[in-house]
Structure 1
Amino acid sequence: MLKKRLDINRMDLWKGSILKSIAHAINVAHYPELSYENSWDGFNYNLQDGEGARGTITFHPDFCIAAFQDLNSERSELVKEASTYFEEASDKLKEIAKAETFQYLLEDVEGETIPLITSSFWIENNNAYSMDTFEDLQEHGGFLLNLQLEDITSAIETLEEEYEMTEQQLELLQLIFAKKIKNPEERIILSEHEVGMMGVIDDEGLKESKESFEEINVTWNF
């Protein structure tokens, strides 16, 4: 089976993932029980829908590696060797996938803990590839990135509707996003006024929101 070229740009995907993460951090201030849906662990971005699908995107300095596990896909019953989803990737990329990406998609299968994957793609040398067509990728778990792959303007509109964001929350989303894109490595400190733009928050919501924000190097000091 030959790899397919996909129209996915690493920087656009990262921006979409950051945008989603900021909106998520604002939303969990009011719905802390949804904190599991979106998280970062270093350069590994994890997401899940609570209905059997989850995925990890590893934004490694040299590569971008994405793998998905959809327990509602018939592929989850086949239990293919995870590395076959990266059959034509470089050896170095496969090593990173095994050490990083796969570790977030482990399942107990007949007493053995293994990465269970139903679709994937990778980016190296500025080109995106998958062993799947884009349609098959989406069908077997890649749909988790539908928003992250939208253009930013459309994604903001989608998030506004999905999270029923107020004008102030929307303004805060765009403010933090602009700062993050301008200086990706710089720590962003929110003022008390900016945190207040999220709306009334109880202690649990504030705690979960701060934890989500800190995963993308955004915080506050009060």
Structure 2
Amino acid sequence: MKPIVLNSRLNKQQLWSGCLLASIAHAIMVAHYPEFSYEHSWDGDNYSVVDDSGGRGTITFKENYCVGAFRSEQDTRPDMPTALDFFAGAPREVVELAKTETLEYLLDQREDGTISPSITTAFWGDHETMTSVDHIVGLVQYGGYLLDRQLMEPETAIESWRDYYDMTAEQVNLLKSIYERKISNPHGSIVLSRGELEVIGAESPEGWRESRTSFEEMGIDWEDDSLGK
């Protein structure tokens, strides 16, 4: 397995932005669809995405690199490489990130009872490029399809999320506003006003709770503590 540059125009920052946009759309609309709370989540620098067919992936975003790994339950690898085989030829820092963070979210119990990372594809990226031991077709087939909208240009992705969630015009405007604030100041304080929370809306306390949890994972707070209680 030898690393291949997948895309010289896609980089770590662009991917992070796409994952952030996906997560904000999710945080707004999970208020209405709390049963899908598992689909997008953040744990520190680790973004995880899951679909209803059992596909799952995690991307770790650090200062110099991002590391992504995925497991498709529907398309198993005929050669069954180990998780670290997917990082052959990667920089040492990438391999360490994979071992200590990314792959920890993709552990699976084997037939002999042991627990170890189980993935079907992976990639890593820096400030300039994205690289994998898989060609783009294999990467997409074996789990990369989970990033379909995250890899779109922002305006195209927003329209796609609008259709996916059946968002109102007000919810789309809120999505754009929160996204722009977070992109321009990733570590700054963002507090959603009561008016913004009313735009989100919710049909149950569970919806409020799931929405608030999703926003908190991104470091976004709510102005009104009474909502959802």
**TM-score (structure 2 length as normaliser):** 0.93
One-letter amino acid of the structure 2 residue matched with residue 215 of structure 1? E
Whole-angstrom distance in 1 between the partners of 2:127 and 2:168: 40
Q: Show the counterpart of 1:37.
A: 39
Whole-angstrom distance in 2 between the partners of 1:41 and 1:200: 24
- Tell me the CA shift for residue 219 of structure 1: 1.4
8 Å CA contact 1:3, 1:132 repeated in 2: yes
Confirm or deny that 1:9 pairs with 2:11: yes
The runs of 5 or more residues in structure 2 that have no matched partner are: 225-229
Kindly report which structure 2 residues correspond to 1:56-205, keeping only aligned pairs within 5 A, or say none.
56-75=58-77, 79-110=80-111, 111-124=113-126, 126-205=128-207
8 Å CA contact 2:12, 2:66 repeated in 1: yes
Whole-angstrom distance in 1 between the partners of 2:182 and 2:131: 27
Whole-angstrom distance in 2 between the partners of 1:59 and 1:105: 16
**RMSD over aligned Cα atoms:** 1.2
Secondary structure in structure 2 of the residue aligned to 1:155: helix
One-letter amino acid of the structure 1 residue matched with residue 104 of structure 2? Q
One-letter amino acid of the structure 2 residue matched with residue 43 of structure 1? D
Whole-angstrom distance in 2 between the partners of 1:185 and 1:200: 27
User: 1:50/1:196 Cα in 2 relative to 1: closer, same or farther (>3 Å)?
Assistant: same
Whole-angstrom distance in 2 between the partners of 1:47 and 1:151: 19
Secondary structure in structure 2 of the residue aligned to 1:36: coil
One-letter amino acid of the structure 1 residue matched with residue 197 of structure 2? V
Matched residues, percent identical?
43
The runs of 5 or more residues in structure 1 that have no matched partner are: none
Equivalent residues, number: 221
Kindly report which structure 2 residues correspond to 1:203-218, keeping only aligned pairs within 5 A, or say none.
203-218=205-220
| 1:158-177 CA distance string (max 9 Å, x none) | 00000000011111101101
Moved over 3 A (4+): none
- Tell me the CA shift for residue 202 of structure 1: 2.0
- Tell me the CA shift for residue 102 of structure 1: 0.3
Whole-angstrom distance in 1 between the partners of 2:54 and 2:80: 15
**TM-score (structure 1 length as normaliser):** 0.96
8 Å CA contact 1:4, 1:132 repeated in 2: yes
8 Å CA contact 1:79, 1:116 repeated in 2: no
